[in-house]
Each structure stands twice: as C-alpha cells, then as structure tokens.
Structure 1
Amino acid sequence: MSEIQEDRLLSGRTVLVAGATGGIGEGMTLALLRQGATVVATGRSEERLAGLADHVKEAGPGTLITRTVNVGDADSEKVRAQLSPYGALDGAVVSIGDWGSPERTGILDISDREWEEMIASNLTSHFHALRALTPLLSPDGALVHLSGFSADIPYPFAALVGATNAAKKSLVRSLEAELGGRGPRVYELIIGPIRTRPRAAIGADNPGWFSAEDLGRHAGRLVAHSGPYADAPLQYLITRAHGVRTTPPQ
C-alpha cells in the first residue's frame, strides 16, 4: 500500500482507543491519526491524556479527541452514555489492563489478594470493556483486542499474567463466535514484547520487536477491512522475524 493510500485509509472513520495513555495505546493512537482517523482516546487520567495530546499534536491528518473514561467500569451503561456523542464507532482498540509486576512470584506463593487484584485489573476490566464497547460499534465496524503471548505458553513466576491473558483470549474468541458475522468484526491480536516510548526511555528496546506504531497501523488496516489479514479473527504478532501469523510461532 502506498504512503498516500495509508494516509487516507481511515479518513472519515472514528476509532476509539481504550488505554490510549499507556505505552502501547499511545503508539497506536499516533499511527491511527497518521492513517487519517478521528481517534477518541480514552483513559482514566486527565493529566496523562493531556500529555498524550501534546505528544501526538503534529501527527495528522487525523483528529484527536480525548475523553476521561474508564471503559473497564462495571457500569457499562454509564460508559456508553459518555461515548455516545461520537455515534456508531468504526473501530475500537482495547489496550488496557495489567501487564504484570516486575517482581516474579511462583504460583504456590501467590496470595489471595494478589490473585483477586490481577483478576480484577486484567480480566474483569476487559469483560466490562467488551460489554460496554461492542454495542457502540457499527455493524461493519471492528473491535481489536490485545493479549500477551503468555496466553499460549507457560509463564513461570508470572502465572497470573498468563492465566488472565489466556482467559481474555477465550473471552474474545467466544464473543467473535457468538456474533458469527452478524455484528462488528472481532479480532484478537496475541502480541510479544512491544517497542514503546516508555520502554525505550529505560533502555528496554529491541529492533526485532514490533513497535506500538506497527500495531496501530495493523489495527487500522483491520478496521478498514483491508489487507491479507482482514478476515482472520486470531492473529499473532510476536516478533518482526515471525511476521504476522494466524497460528502461533513454534
């Protein structure tokens, strides 16, 4: 696809990014703006949303709208009411949750409190987001959800991250099956480590990883129902060397 076509890919379309102030959400927002979308960027902090707006202010040609909304709130009707002014969405990207503590703990040493907190932040919040956002999408729109590769592999000493990722993957795949082509398209993207601005700032960067902007460009093509993966509801973006796949890399 040429650069001009890419710039116009999402012209006239509105895409919501849930978790837009996180490292991945920020990069995806930037890429979607560069594809010409009107991006409704949501987050829980007005200060962080203001920082996002400053970071992407030269992105163009799309338009940024920021809203302080917790899409993982249990009150789905309230969430929908906060977002209803933007009409039927053409796309929604869900990049929320807890990617795990740097402190590693074995399964047998995890406390009930740690278990309950991870379930709430990395699974229940996603259930609430799916319930709130799916009805806001147009019938020919697309919901793009992100989960980590620990959904598919053992994740020693961070098992709660893996367990909640596996549960999220199942939840989204089941939603896609329930809709059965009678509503918005639903995509589950299983991702590996991602290059982000915050990670680069602490020296955690690898040119072999996909970047958050790569994910955003890919999500934009899915929203536009464009490209070779537009009809693949489950996709793996683990490393650049593996490319985009519809089956897990070995």
Structure 2
Amino acid sequence: MRLTGRTALVTGSTSNIGRAIALAFGAEGAHVLVSGRDEERGDAVVAEIRAAGGKADFVAADLGSAQGARALATEATSVLGHVDILVNNAGLIDPARTEQVREEAFDAVFAVNVKAPVFLVAALAPAMAERGGGVIVNLGSWIARLGVPSGIAYSASKGAVETMTRTWAAEYGPRGVRVNAISPGVVHELGEDHPAAGMMAGTPAGTPGDPEAIARAAVYLASDDAAFVHGITLDVDGGRQHVAVLAGQN
C-alpha cells in the first residue's frame, strides 16, 4: 500500500497502459481519478478498482486543447480535493511518414501528447509545491530515441515529452515535486499475434510486454521508494533501446 492516502489523476486511463496504472494505483491505496473520452469504459475501470476495495472516480476529458487540459485540472481538484500524483499517459498516434503527414493530424498529435501535459502541469504542479510535494510521471516511448521509418509526429512528440520531463524536474524538483518519465517498449493487450509484435524481435524479451509491467514502474516512480529519483526516463522496454540479441545465439 505504497500510495495510501494519496490522490492520483491518470489521463487516458480507460484502456491499455493507462488502465493498468489506474488499477495498480488503486491497489496501492491511492484515490484514483480515471479520465478519458469514453465514459462507459471509464466507469468499468472505476468499478474494477472499487470491487478490489479501492477508491476511484471517473471524469470525462478531451485533451485536444489547452482549455480541455485546464478543465480537467479544475475538475480533478474538485473531485479529489487536491492532486498528489499526475500521470500524463493520454496519447494520440499517427503512423504517417513525413511525406504523408497531414497538418491537422500533426497538430492533433502534438495537442494531446505535448500541449495537454504542459497545461496540466502548469495547472497542478504549483499547488503540489504549495502543499509540500507531489509527483509527475510522464509516458514517453522507445520510438523517441530509436528511429523507425514511420510515425514522425508521434516520435517527435514523445521526444518532446522526455525533454519536458527534464525541464520540469529542474523547475519543480527544488520545490518538492518529483518529475520522471517511463519509456515503454511495444506494449499491447492484443499480445504476440498483433502486428507490432515483430518490433520486439532481436530484443532480450522477444515479445511485446504487458501493461502491468509499465504500471509497476509507475507505482515505483510515484511512491517514496523513488524519493531520490529526479528527471529520468526509465526504459521499460524488454531491452529494445539498449540490447541486440543476434539470431541463433541461443
């Protein structure tokens, strides 16, 4: 129960990694605010947390604008009383290559992946500092540092997330707010037969990870176990970033 007595806002927490983080935070004692665009799925996550003995509520959110981010921060503060932990998980993917990318799609990716976290942090981090501390966990991606020939907008946005993580650690760390990021590898609920599974070939893990692996890392970074950890990007990626496994070496 490493998060007992704390409140947590997890954006994009109605499915996949966000859902796993919300469930893990609830199991560790936090009062979790589940947020996303799909109320039915959000209510299902809340029900699951409550059924396990945890505390949770749902707030619908559209993070396509600064206004939407500010509105979510206001609603989260109203529902929870205050926010101790912010997880910037909500993300939008556009797989287009550079020559095919459309301006409206590019802008939409950056609105959700970059602009929304900026305005959520601007709205919530100062209040965390005034209360004596808090935690921000951002979700990056391995694709920010290992180039692939697709998804230019997404990879650029996740590179921005890693940079913002370090900037916010410098801004808010001295005021008691710890800021770190997680860089997941290929993680998908659909498992090994999903087309993305091949992107984990040549890694020690060899297959996609499960959302719970990322959730466990998020619990660590949000808890006092990581009290001396500031400004890092924690790779939870099955070795995708740092290790090459040669065919037939085993």
**Which residue number in structure 1 is paired with residue 88 of structure 2?**
94
Structure 1 position 226, deviation (Å): 0.5
Specify the SS of the correspondent of 1:92.
strand
Deviations 1:102-145 (A, max 9, x none): xxx33123233333333333322332332233234343210000
Whether the 8 Å CA contact 1:107–1:157 is kept in 2: the answer is yes
Aligned length: 231
CA–CA distance in structure 2, aligned partners of residues 144 and 79 of structure 1: 17
**Which residue number in structure 2 is paired with residue 110 of structure 1?**
101
Of all paired residues, the percent bearing the same amino acid is 23
1:37 and 2:30 aligned: yes
CA–CA distance in structure 2, aligned partners of residues 230 and 99 of structure 1: 32
**Which residue number in structure 2 is paired with residue 226 of structure 1?**
225
CA–CA distance in structure 2, aligned partners of residues 35 and 232 of structure 1: 22
Mark the CA change 1:79 to 1:97 in structure 2 (over 3 Å): closer, same or farther. same
Deviations 1:36-91 (A, max 9, x none): 2111112223222123234444333x211222234554225533331223233221
Whether the 8 Å CA contact 2:192–2:208 is kept in 1: the answer is no
**Which residue number in structure 1 is paired with residue 115 of structure 2?**
124
Mark the CA change 1:53 to 1:33 in structure 2 (over 3 Å): closer, same or farther. same
CA–CA distance in structure 1, aligned partners of residues 112 and 70 of structure 2: 20
Specify the SS of the correspondent of 2:119.
helix
Whether the 8 Å CA contact 2:138–2:161 is kept in 1: the answer is no
CA–CA distance in structure 1, aligned partners of residues 32 and 193 of structure 2: 28
Structure 1-normalised TM-score?
Answer: 0.79
**Which residue number in structure 1 is paired with residue 248 of structure 2?**
none
User: Pairwise CA RMSD of aligned residues?
Assistant: 2.8
Structure 2: which amino acid aligns with 1:12?
G
Structure 1: which amino acid aligns with 2:7?
T
Specify the SS of the correspondent of 1:114.
helix
Structure 2-normalised TM-score?
Answer: 0.79
Mark the CA change 1:235 to 1:119 in structure 2 (over 3 Å): closer, same or farther. closer
1:239 to 237, 242, 246: 237
In structure 1, list runs of 5 or more residues that go unmatched. Answer: 1-7, 243-247
Whether the 8 Å CA contact 2:180–2:230 is kept in 1: the answer is yes
Specify the SS of the correspondent of 1:194.
coil
In structure 2, list runs of 5 or more residues that go unmatched. Answer: 244-250
